[in-house]
Amino acid sequence: MKYLKKKKLVLRTLAMPENINVNGDIFGGWIMSQMDIAGSILAKEISKGKVVTLKIENMLFLKRISIGDLVSCYAKCIEIGNTSIKISIETWVKKISFEPLGLNIKSSQGVFIYVAIDNYGNPTPVLKKN
């Protein structure tokens, strides 16, 4: 299937001051939400309809993110079930406000599972739409 290929950039954003935790770094919940948004973009493209997040597997935070960092989420579909879509997501950070400038760092990774739904919120087959 054409979606089971290499990771592609699906979301870019800036880490902002309102997203910091008590230590002054970007809050892990904000990072997870950006990854979930990125994964749902790819899942919607695959299902050609509505999707909901079922669960997150293997979430790992590798490096901290600072205010002003450019956050890029890369996603790859790794499995398509009857109604589910499993997506691997990596978050990479480009330092544009602090030293060392321009450095790209993998900051987190996880596997998110989405379910295709119909207009009533019921699971619906993915492959019949493709």
What CATH code is carried by the domain that includes residue 24?
3.10.129.10
Q: Is the pLDDT of residue 130 over 50?
A: no
Residues of the domain holding 108: 8-129
**Does residue 1 surpass a pLDDT of 70?**
no
pLDDT tens-digit series, residues 42-68:
999 999 999 999 999 999 999 999 999
Query: Which residue type sits at 12?
Result: R
Domain count, the chain: 1
- Given a cut of 80, is residue 82 above it in pLDDT? yes
Q: Quote the CA–CA distance of 68 and 116 in Å, as a whole number.
A: 34
Residue-wise pLDDT for 6-31, tens only, equals: 899 999 999 999 999 999 999 999 99
Judge whether 122 lies within some domain.
Answer: yes
- Say if 1 falls within a structural domain: no
- What predicted TM-score, i.e. pTM, was given to this entire model? 0.90
Task: Identify the residue whose tokens are 């809050």.
Answer: 27
Which run of H or E residues covers position 91? strand 84-94
In this structure, is residue 2 part of a structural domain? Answer: no
Residue 32 in any domain: the answer is yes
Helical (H) or strand (E) element with 36: helix 28-47
